[in-house]
Chains A and B, each alone.
Chain A
Amino acid sequence: EAQVTQNPRYLITVTGKKLTVTCSQNMNHEYMSWYRQDPGLGLRQIYYSMNVEVTDKGDVPEGYKVSRKEKRNFPLILESPSPNQTSLYFCASKIRLAGDETQYFGPGTRLLVL
């Protein structure tokens, strides 16, 4: 089944404790992206990747890192989480860069930083 998976789905952590949220897609998509969703603000892009080893900042990259060492995986890293990073996080992927195809979203990771 074609899908985008994220792990963990739920995470409670404390300020400053490094964490990684994994994202994997099995559709051989070139493009992958991370969003966060907050009440009243909607979804905002954090980082995106056009291909392996090619990543760039979105609208709200502060406090986050990403890597794209393999085409299928695009982990989101919070080196020193803070309470303002409490949010619902979504990973998305798309088959090609220049095409108008649908973007597919993972199930989300709900993060609480105490």
Chain B
Amino acid sequence: KQEVTQIPAALSVPEGENLVLNCSFTDSAIYNLQWFRQDPGKGLTSLLLIQSSQREQTSGRLNASLDKSSGRSTLYIAASQPGDSATYLCAVHGGATNKLIFGTGTLLAVQP
């Protein structure tokens, strides 16, 4: 059974720092991995999707990497801003049912 873990559960950094969020999964046979952002009381916004054949994806200040063999993904945020404060979720595509298996998230606070 696929399990997704995110470490740390919470992170507080000063504005301008570069930071890395971690996601690990137990079954390397994945279709893709997606990173989402969730603001308090809001829905999920897709940030990056990495196909199983890819090693990384970039969007602006965000870079996500994928190492299937070790069951790990990282989300790198460059030059963090207070507006980046949110909960970040990673989710693994669960196969033919299209189910997403989510981690429990990392709550990020960027201090001005």
Docked-complex contact B98 and A94, CB < 8 angstroms = yes
How large, as a class, is the contact surface on chain B? 20 to 34
Specify which of A45, A50, A106 is in contact with B100 (CB 8 Å cutoff). A45
In the complex, what's the smallest C-beta–C-beta distance from A102 to chain B, in angstroms? 5
In the complex, what's the smallest C-beta–C-beta distance from A104 to chain B, in angstroms? 7
Q: CA–CA, A101 to B32, complex, Å?
A: 9
Measured between beta carbons, the chain A residues less than 8 angstroms from B44 are: 90, 105
Q: Which of B67-75, B77-85, B101-109 contacts A (4 or more CB under 8 A)?
A: B101-109
A-B contact count (CB 8 A): 59
Q: CA–CA, A44 to B42, complex, Å?
A: 17
Q: Is the interface of A mostly helix, strand, loop or mixed?
A: strand
Specify which of A40, A90, A94 is in contact with B104 (CB 8 Å cutoff). A40
Q: Which A residues contact B (CB, under 8 angstroms)?
A: 31, 33, 35, 40-45, 48, 50, 56, 58-59, 90, 92, 94, 97, 100-108, 110
Q: Does B34 contact A (CB under 8 A)?
A: yes
Docked-complex contact A43 and B99, CB < 8 angstroms = no
Measured between beta carbons, the chain B residues less than 8 angstroms from A94 are: 98
Docked-complex contact A108 and B43, CB < 8 angstroms = yes
Chain B residues 34-72 with CB under 8 Å of chain A are 34, 36, 41-46, 49, 51-52
